């Protein structure tokens, strides 16, 4: 007896692996986005806790020469 799978099950395994890889990539990307958002919120909360009034981020346009 051998433990080899029939060819159709090997194809299904490849599809399952691709789906799991895609799911893992989405979870990692969501985690990175969440950590960045939490860091931004923490900075604003630290600023407000120090009693400052203008804690919003200010976007400065790039200086052109």
22 within domain boundaries: yes
* 1 domain-assigned: no
Flag whether 60 is in a domain: no
- pLDDT attached to residue 7: 63
- Residue ranges in the chain whose pLDDT is less than 50: none
For the chain, the farthest-separated pair of C-alpha atoms sits apart, in whole angstroms, at: 75
Question: What's the structural domain count of the chain?
Answer: 1
Say what the pLDDT of residue 51 is: 87
Whole-prediction pTM value?
A: 0.62
Note the Cα 41 to chain centre separation in Å: 16
pLDDT at 3: 60
3 assigned to some structural domain = no
Residue 21 inside a domain? The answer is: yes
Letter string b/e over residues 37-52, b meaning 16 or more CB atoms within 10 A of that residue's CB: eeeeeeeeeeeeeeee
Domain that residue 30 falls in: 8-51
- pLDDT at position 33 is 97
Q: Would residue 29 count as lying in a domain?
A: yes
């Amino acid at each position: 007896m051998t433990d080899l799978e029939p060819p159709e099950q090997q194809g299904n395994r490849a599809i399952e692996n691709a789906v799991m890889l895609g799911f893992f990539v989405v979870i990692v990307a969501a985690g990175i986005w969440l950590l960045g958002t939490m860091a931004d919120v923490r900075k604003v909360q630290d600023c407000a806790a120090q009693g400052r009034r203008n804690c919003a981020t200010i976007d400065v346009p790039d200086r052109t020469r």
